[in-house]
Amino acid sequence: MTTDDYKAISDTIPRQPGVYRFIDKEDTILYVGKAKDLRSRVSSYFGDRRDRAHKTRVMVKNAGRLEFTVVETEADALLLENTLIKKYQPRYNVMLRDDKSYSYICIKNERSPRVFITRRVIKDGSTYFKFTPAKYASRSSWS
């Protein structure tokens, strides 16, 4: 995508929290990102900024289009971003492509149930709840 391509769609990009995806011409997802203001975040990829990493410039150049999913909160955006990265393994999301995951609260299926935070889900009849750290729970907590 070029800056001109971005300018043609910039007014249609929502100013709400959500997840954006850079997709190439073969419909392969290149990158998944989250934002509290989609339009503001996506605009940072375009223009004449020289401080952008080389891999980011190459990714934007190889992108054929952008897709967006608007969500209610930033915490929802964080969880959706994680889910999409795990599902599609985008080339440019190197930090979250491995098998690390966000935390879960586990309630063990035992006579006296233990409650603890874990990153591993074991199918043993226990109950698991996705856990979002407190710093992601409010609208003003991340950029």
pLDDT digits (tens, 9 = 90+) for 105-142: 899 999 999 998 887 888 899 998 877 665 554 444 34
Q: What is the pLDDT of residues 79-113, one digit of tens each?
A: 899 889 889 999 998 765 455 566 788 999 999 99
15 and 67 in a single domain? The answer is: yes
pTM metric for this prediction? 0.69
User: What is the domain count for the chain?
Assistant: 2
Per-residue pLDDT, averaged over 62-85, amounts to 92
Q: Which of 138, 14, 11 is nearest to 69 (CA)?
A: 14
CB of 115 within 8 A of CB of 107?
yes
13, part of any domain:
yes
9 and 77 in a single domain? The answer is: yes
Q: Which of 73, 87, 76 is nearest to 28 (CA)?
A: 87
Q: What is the pLDDT of residues 15-42, one digit of tens each?
A: 999 999 999 999 999 999 999 999 999 9
43 and 112 in a single domain? The answer is: no
Q: Where are the beta strands (DSSP E) in the chain?
A: 18-24, 29-35, 63-70, 104-107, 115-118, 127-130
Domain that holds residue 122: 104-133
143, part of any domain:
no
Using left for φ > 0, alpha for ψ between -120 and 50, and beta otherwise, residue 89 falls in left
User: Which residues neighbour 116 within 8 Å (Cβ) at sequence distance 6 or greater?
Assistant: 105, 106, 108
Q: How many Å apart are CA 90 and CA 97, to the nearest integer? A: 8
